[in-house]
């Protein structure tokens, strides 16, 4: 069996997204800034895509800015709020410990520039407490950035409450919704976001293209100097084919979101139940307030990296954390933040289902994982110590 269960890292492009893209590579390749017909047709396609995307997340087309993806959108949003803050003498930012590196590294850069950063903890369930946000906001807070849904453990944050709190206090609220858009309902009015990041390749669009919603009245900071594209806020010839394709992917995801979400939730819970039967294992993140596609487990006494390499041999593509931390020996900052100790955090497995998953695949994954975990424990010195009582089981 061949099962791709790493959809939080990236997704397969949908047929609709590929088909939408091709004309803009082949015949409609004009530059939207050109005044001739070919250019103007590209411009029209770009603006139609903007309107389609705006409709899905409930904003106006002028509030959508195209970017190169989730990382750029996060950088753009944070730098926009920070520069406004700097001008107003407000140099405090509130965020949390389980953000994506695109957010955390940008905040680290700002810290070096003199900003004060408060990173809120999360509960053992991987959820930020909205009342912690309320307590952390100060008169000099220029930004609160809390992700919509976590990319490793899938937990969905109380963004509507956080958005309402920020609005009341007059603090800009940004949310990294890269894992949410196209998968669960996202409405920028309902969640009270002033800025929201999304990335096409996480919802069956192409890589290297995304968008940032910026509420009317906030002018995005120019990170890239040059021409006056994107209303003077982001220079560079637009990725017309990518943008058109992203809009097609998003429209399709939105049209099937409800049924896909319901079906995936059943499959997710079947997978959670099956993996829970493996001794000394534990689900990471809240069992209910999580994305329909996300399953993340820790298995005591093994290395997540070996687990996923052996699963790959059995045809299952999984991950041990985020794609960005794989290859490094540090355990996931998200798992540490929910209280997993280093040893346990190292034995993690993330399975993120695609819309094409079915029961047979789920059962195959459960069987394969149980087999590989037991095989690895067979020659794990840590497992031997645990069984001999030289070390205490944690899970
Ligand atoms: C993937 C991801 C990003 C980065 O998006 P890119 O388009 O790959 O730059 C940012 N935040 C979250 C939560 C993600 O899952």
Compute the distance from residue 262 Cα to the ligand 1 centre, in Å.
24
Structural domain includes residue 394: no
Ligand 1: which residue has its CA nearest to atom 8?
A: 70
Compute the distance from residue 70 Cα to the ligand 1 centre, in Å.
4
Same domain, 197 and 280: no
pLDDT per residue as tens, the chain (395 positions): 899 999 999 999 999 999 999 999 999 999 999 999 999 999 999 999 999 999 999 999 999 999 999 999 999 999 999 999 999 999 999 999 999 999 999 999 999 999 999 999 999 999 999 999 999 999 999 999 999 999 999 999 999 999 999 999 999 999 999 999 999 999 999 999 999 999 999 999 999 999 999 999 999 999 999 999 999 999 999 999 999 999 999 999 999 999 999 999 999 999 999 999 999 999 999 999 999 999 999 999 999 999 999 999 999 999 986 544 455 568 899 999 999 999 899 999 999 999 999 999 999 999 999 999 999 999 999 999 999 999 999 99
Same domain, 260 and 199: no
Q: Which two tokens stand for residue 187?
A: 């409405």
Same domain, 106 and 72: yes
Same domain, 97 and 211: yes
Ligand 1: which residue has its CA nearest to atom 4?
A: 70
| Cross-strand bridge partners of residue 297 | 283, 349
Structural domain includes residue 167: yes
Cβ(209)–Cβ(242) below 8 Å:
yes
> Tell me, what CATH number does 299's domain have?
3.90.1150.10
Entry field: residues in the chain? 395
Task: Give the model's pLDDT for residue 324.
Answer: 45
Structural domain includes residue 9: no
Domain coverage including residue 245: 15-255
**pTM of whole model > 0.75?**
yes
Same domain, 31 and 130: yes
Same domain, 343 and 242: no
H or E element at residue 392: none
Domain count within the chain: 2
Choosing from 144, 191, 317, 324, which is the catalytic residue? Answer: 324
Sign of CA dihedral 37, 41, 43, 44: positive
Compute the distance from residue 151 Cα to the ligand 1 centre, in Å.
8
Atom of ligand 1 nearest to the CA of 207: 7
Structural domain includes residue 2: no
Ligand 1 pocket, 377 CB below 6 A?
Answer: no
Same domain, 71 and 187: yes
Ligand 1 pocket, 183 CB below 6 A?
Answer: no
> Tell me, what CATH number does 178's domain have?
3.40.640.10
Compute the distance from residue 131 Cα to the ligand 1 centre, in Å.
27
Cβ(327)–Cβ(356) below 8 Å:
no
Boundary of a domain, candidates 220, 235, 255: 255
Boundary of a domain, candidates 234, 255, 276: 255
324 included as an active-site residue: yes
Task: Give the model's pLDDT for residue 352.
Answer: 98
H or E element at residue 18: helix 15-21
Same domain, 178 and 231: yes
Same domain, 195 and 264: no
Atom of ligand 1 nearest to the CA of 199: 7
H or E element at residue 195: strand 195-199
Same domain, 59 and 170: yes
Same domain, 178 and 313: no
Task: Give the model's pLDDT for residue 80.
Answer: 98
Sign of CA dihedral 87, 91, 92, 98: positive
Same domain, 241 and 275: no
């Amino acid at each position: 069996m061949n099962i791709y269960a790493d959809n939080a890292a990236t997704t397969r492009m949908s047929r609709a997204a590929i088909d939408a893209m091709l004309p803009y590579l082949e015949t409609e390749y004009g530059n939207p800034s050109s005044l001739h017909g070919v250019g103007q047709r590209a411009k029209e396609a770009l603006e139609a895509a903007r309107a389609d995307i705006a409709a899905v997340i409930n904003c106006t087309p002028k509030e959508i800015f195209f970017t190169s993806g989730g990382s750029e959108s996060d950088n753009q949003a944070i730098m926009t709020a920070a520069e406004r803050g700097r001008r107003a003498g407000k140099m405090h930012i509130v965020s949390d410990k389980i953000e994506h590196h695109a957010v955390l590294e940008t905040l680290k850069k700002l810290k070096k520039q003199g900003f004060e950063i408060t990173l809120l903890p999360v509960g053992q369930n991987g959820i930020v407490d909205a009342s912690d946000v309320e307590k952390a906001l100060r008169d000099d807070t220029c930004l609160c950035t809390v992700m919509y849904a976590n990319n490793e453990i899938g937990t969905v944050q109380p963004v509507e409450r956080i958005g309402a709190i920020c609005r009341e206090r007059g603090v800009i609220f940004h949310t990294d919704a890269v894992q949410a858009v196209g998968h669960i309902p996202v409405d920028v009015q309902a969640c009270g976001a002033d800025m929201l990041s999304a990335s096409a390749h996480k919802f069956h669009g192409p890589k290297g293209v995304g968008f940032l919603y910026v509420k009317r009245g906030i002018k995005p900071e120019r990170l890239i100097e040059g021409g006056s594209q994107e209303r003077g806020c982001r220079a560079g010839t637009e990725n017309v084919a990518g943008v058109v394709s992203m809009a097609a992917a998003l429209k399709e995801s939105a049209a099937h979101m409800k049924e896909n979400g319901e079906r995936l939730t059943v499959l997710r819970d079947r997978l959670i139940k099956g993996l829970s039967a493996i001794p000394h294992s534990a689900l990471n993140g809240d069992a209910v307030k999580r994305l329909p596609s996300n399953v993340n487990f820790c298995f005591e006494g093994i290395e997540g990296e070996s687990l996923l390499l052996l699963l790959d041999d059995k045809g299952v593509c999984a991950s041990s954390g985020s794609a960005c931390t794989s290859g490094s020996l540090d355990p996931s900052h998200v798992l540490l933040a929910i209280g997993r100790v280093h040893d346990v955090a190292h034995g993690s497995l993330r399975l993120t289902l695609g819309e094409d998953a079915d029961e047979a695949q789920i059962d195959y994954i459960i069987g394969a994982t149980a087999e590989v975990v037991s095989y690895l424990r067979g020659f794990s010195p840590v497992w031997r110590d645990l069984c001999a009582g030289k070390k205490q089981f944690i899970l």
